[in-house]
Amino acid sequence: MSRFSAVTDNPHDGRFNQKTGILLTNLGSPDAPTASALRTYLREFLSDPRIVEIPRFVWMIILHGIILRIRPKRSAKLYESIWTENGSPLTHITRQQSLKLNALLKEHGYTNTEVVMAMRYGNPSIEAGLEQLRDKGLTRIIVLPLYPQYSSPTTGSTFDAVSNVLRKWRWVPELHFINGYHKNTRYIESLANSISEDLAANGMPQKLVFSYHGMPKLFLERGDPYHCLCLQTTRLVIEKLGLDKDQVISTFQSRFGKAEWLKPYTDATLESFPAQGIKDIAIISPAFSADCLETLEELEGENREIFEHAGGEKYRYIAALNERDDHIDAMFDILKPML
């Protein structure tokens, strides 16, 4: 039987019964903590024009002539340090989030919904995720990129990937694309709850650091709202917790290259604290919906060492929201108006 007699894109087929597919996406991880897998992953990631906005011809020479020859081996060692028996923490956590969200939807009576996870780079790909939803005969698709604060390199790039797949489909389903949720009440509550639990167990540090993933300052100057959305997130959480704004600072991590990025830099800020008498800090990264290399290795490892080497005494990382029940409740709340 041919593909076209077995499966049709046409919604008048009786198999289609107004089911809603939810594509839960995140950035992605290599398939393994090896130089070969990292080379494949980084080639896809760093070839995205949303990630690197310099002339294409120049960048391709740098990428293939230098970066992909040097960085994969070094990055593989970093990934190896966080790899688990379940593989990539980011991939595993996103999968658990999708399973819990699917169960919660069914619990609330949304029996005609299916949740599928996908990654912008690596596997399972966005194309594979969308094809999986199509194969289930779904007529509506909601795409929820798990980036609370919109930015062009993350949310915008996800939209590109979804569009590139759907442009090849004969019949395009009803599509809803969620481009951010940094002000969602349940999301803010979940962040506040995670911080409150830490404070109850460990006490108030001298400084609570909100470390967001960085981006080149040029992106902000060209109109990307990410920086402002991050600061709004911090303000909303401070208000929810009733903290004094002087107890909190927002910083930006994960610089790459020599260009100026959003400031203040997380590593430089942590290094400067002990000399100011700040030797007890807690750090959280609200832009990450799941723990990954940037939190487990960079914040838990590298930045802890920077702070302690400079004279810091107490350093604790407050985990990403991951598959916390209140985080899954927030996802449901974000999706509910479109269900």
Sheet containing 140-145: which strands, arranged edge to edge? 113-119, 20-26, 140-145, 174-177
Residue 145 dihedral angles phi and psi, to the nearest 5°: -70, 130
On whether the CB atoms of residues 118 and 180 are closer than 8 A, the answer is no
Separation between Cα atoms, residue 125 and residue 79, nearest integer Å: 20
**Which residue type, as a one-letter code, is found at position 249?**
I
213 annotated as a binding-site residue:
yes
C-alpha angle with apex 40: 35 to 46, nearest 5 degrees?
Answer: 110
Separation between Cα atoms, residue 325 and residue 307, nearest integer Å: 32
305 annotated as a binding-site residue:
no
Nearest partner of 102 among 337, 319, 328, 339, judged by Cα: 328
**Which residue type, as a one-letter code, is found at position 183?**
K
Task: Reduce the DSSP state of residue 118 to 3 states and report it.
Answer: strand
Task: Reduce the DSSP state of residue 31 to 3 states and report it.
Answer: coil
Separation between Cα atoms, residue 302 and residue 297, nearest integer Å: 6
On whether the CB atoms of residues 7 and 16 are closer than 8 A, the answer is no
What are the binding residues?
Answer: 213, 294
What are the binding residues for Fe(2+)?
Answer: 213, 294
